Amino acid sequence: MSLNKSYIISVLLLVSSPMVSAESLRDPTLPGKGFAVVGHASQAQAQAMVLNSIVSSGNTAYAVINNKILSVGDSIEGQSIVKITPTDVSLSDGRKLTLFQAITER
């Protein structure tokens, strides 16, 4: 079985052509151009609070905020907890932290 001369040349050209190396590909997890790392967190970032969950046991309700278990009257980041309901937490500065809808639906 003889191979076609043009077939052999095509295969040699494909094998010898430069391949894209992993070094030339950009890591998609890296920040884009113009991203700057700031040494200090802004005031809004420093005071950002995340309501992780709410648990109630009888007449007592507990809120997990920034992975800390708290109840009414406790304080976190300079704010005290005024009220805890099954879906949200009210803070002394007027903010209301609310659970995501997917967490409250059962």
Q: What is the pLDDT of residues 39-88, one digit of tens each?
A: 555 455 446 888 999 998 888 999 999 999 999 999 999 999 999 999 89
Instruction: Count CB atoms within 10 A of the CB of residue 72.
Output: 15
Residue pair 54/86 in contact by the 8 Å Cβ criterion: yes
pTM to 2 decimals? 0.53
As a whole number, the mean pLDDT across the chain is 76
Identity of the residue numbered 56 = S
